[in-house]
Amino acid sequence: MATTKGTKKGRKGKVASRGRTRASSQVTKSRPPKKPRRPTTAPPQARRPRTVETARDEVRDLARRIVDVTVAGDDAAAFALYADSVESMEAGSAPTVGIAALREKFATWRSMIRDSTWRPLNVWIDGNTIVVEWAGRITFAATGKSIDLREIAVHEVKNAKIARERFYYDRSALQP
């Protein structure tokens, strides 16, 4: 038994048809017309609409910048990460509100220490919240004493800026 185009020989030697046949025994296949390819990326000038993914990317980018400026000790760059109405709270203290109050808090910290180095141990991101577990080495300006300090920093993000932050650590470790 001979096979023709569009047919396939089955297990027992029978010919199985793969398509519909016409009276002339020709097999026809209908294929949909080819669609034109769409570009895989948007043009550079087009802005992506704000979606869950872009918001998540903004929070991840902010987390990277928080780590980078903290490790570098770059206070000027750090202020650019905050919303104007930021609320910042140290362990056991009342919150400070606003960028001016945050600048004062940074100045107080810098006057209290001679040197500090920070290393992120873990960074977690959930929704609009960034949590960083820090290991720090601090040298006090008044005594020259150095200590190791562990800290948890919780940053709440709004519009790609830090809107609220809280720091948790052992306050007794900061007694010179």
Average pLDDT of the residues in 142-151: 95
Highest mean pLDDT out of 10-14, 49-53, 137-141: 137-141
Per-residue pLDDT at 129: 97
Per-residue pLDDT at 44: 53
Taking alpha carbons only, the member of 102, 83, 172, 164 closest to residue 131 is: 164
Which carries the bigger pLDDT value, residue 37 or residue 102? 102
Average pLDDT of the residues in 102-114: 94
Per-residue pLDDT at 16: 47
Task: Give yes or no for residue 39 having a pLDDT over 60.
Answer: no
Q: How much of the chain exceeds pLDDT 90, in percent?
A: 64
Beta carbons within 8 Å of 122's beta carbon, 6+ residues apart: 131, 132, 133
Q: Name residue, tokens 């008044």.
A: 142
Residue 160's region, left for phi above 0, alpha for psi from -120 to 50, else beta, is left
Q: Is the domain covering 52-174 a CATH 3.10.450.50 domain?
A: yes
Q: Rounded distance, CA 125 to CA 153, Å?
A: 12
The tally of CA atoms less than 13 A away on the side-chain side of residue 91 is: 13
Centre a 10 Å sphere on the Cβ of residue 62 and count the other Cβ atoms it contains: 19
Task: Give yes or no for residue 29 having a pLDDT over 70.
Answer: no
Q: Name residue, tokens 């104007």.
A: 84
Task: Give yes or no for residue 175 having a pLDDT over 60.
Answer: yes
Give 80-106 as a DSSP string. TTEEEEEEEE-TTSPPEESHHHHHHHH
Domain range list for the chain: 52-174
**Banded pLDDT at 139 (limits 50, 70, 90):** very high
**Banded pLDDT at 160 (limits 50, 70, 90):** very high
**Banded pLDDT at 32 (limits 50, 70, 90):** low
Q: CA angle at residue 132 from 125 to 98, to 5 degrees?
A: 95
